Structure 1
Amino acid sequence: MEKRHFVLVHGAGHGAWEWYKATGILTAAGHRVTTVDLAASGNNPKRLSDVSTFSEYSQPLIEMMDGLNSQDKVILVGHSFGGMSVALAMDRFPDKILLAVFVAAFMPDCTNLPSFVLDKDFALTRKLGRETSFFQEDLPKIPMFSRERFGSVARVYIICDQDKALTEDFQRWMIENNPVKEVKVIQGSDHMPMFSKPKELCSYLLEIAQT
Structure 2
Amino acid sequence: MDVSKQKSAHIVLVHGACQGSWCWYKLKPRLEAAGHYVTALDMSASGINPRRLDDVRTFAEYTRPLLEFMDSIPQNEKVVLVGHSLGGLNISLAMEKHPEKISVAVFVCALLPDTKHGPSYVLDQYVERTPPEEWLDAKLLPIGTLEDPLTSMSFGPKYVSDKLYQLCSPQDVALANALMRPSSLFIEDLSNKSPFSDEGFGSVRRVYVVCTQDMAIPVSFQRWQIENCEVDEVKELENADHMPMISTPQELCQCLLEIVKKYS
> Could you say which residue in structure 1 is the equivalent of 2:189?
138
Q: What displacement does 1:197 show?
A: 0.5
Per-residue displacement from partner, 1:167-202 (whole Å, max 9, x unpaired)? 000000000000111000100211000000000001
Task: Report how many aligned residue pairs link the two structures.
Answer: 211
Q: What displacement does 1:60 show?
A: 0.5
> Could you say which residue in structure 1 is the equivalent of 2:214?
163
> Identity of aligned pairs, percent?
52
CA distance in 2, matches of 1:142, 1:18: 29
Aligned partner of 2:50 among 35, 45, 48: 45
Which has the higher mean CA deviation after the structures are superposed, 64-73 or 120-129? Answer: 120-129
- Whether the 8 Å contact between 1:124 and 1:166 is mirrored in structure 2 is no
Aligned partner of 1:77 among 52, 77, 82: 82
Q: TM-score, normalised by structure 1?
A: 0.97
Q: Is 1:153 aligned with 2:158?
A: no
- What is the identity, as a one-letter code, of the residue corresponding to 2:27? A
Q: TM-score, normalised by structure 2?
A: 0.78
CA distance in 1, matches of 2:26, 2:77: 24
CA distance in 2, matches of 1:179, 1:166: 18
Q: Give unmatched runs, 5+ long, in structure 1.
A: none
| Pairs within 5 Å for 1:94-109 | 94-109=99-114
- What is the identity, as a one-letter code, of the residue corresponding to 1:194? M
Per-residue displacement from partner, 1:76-96 (whole Å, max 9, x unpaired)? 000000000000000000000
Per-residue displacement from partner, 1:75-119 (whole Å, max 9, x unpaired)? 000000000000000000000000000000000000000000001
> Could you say which residue in structure 2 is the equivalent of 1:34?
39
CA distance in 1, matches of 2:254, 2:260: 10
> Could you say which residue in structure 2 is the equivalent of 1:88?
93
Which has the higher mean CA deviation after the structures are superposed, 123-132 or 189-198? Answer: 123-132
- Whether the 8 Å contact between 1:11 and 1:78 is mirrored in structure 2 is yes
Per-residue displacement from partner, 1:55-85 (whole Å, max 9, x unpaired)? 1000010000000011220000000000000
Q: CA RMSD in A?
A: 1.1
Q: Give unmatched runs, 5+ long, in structure 2.
A: 1-5, 137-158, 161-176
Q: Give 3-state SS (helix, strand or coil) of 2:250's partner.
A: helix
- What is the identity, as a one-letter code, of the residue corresponding to 2:245? M
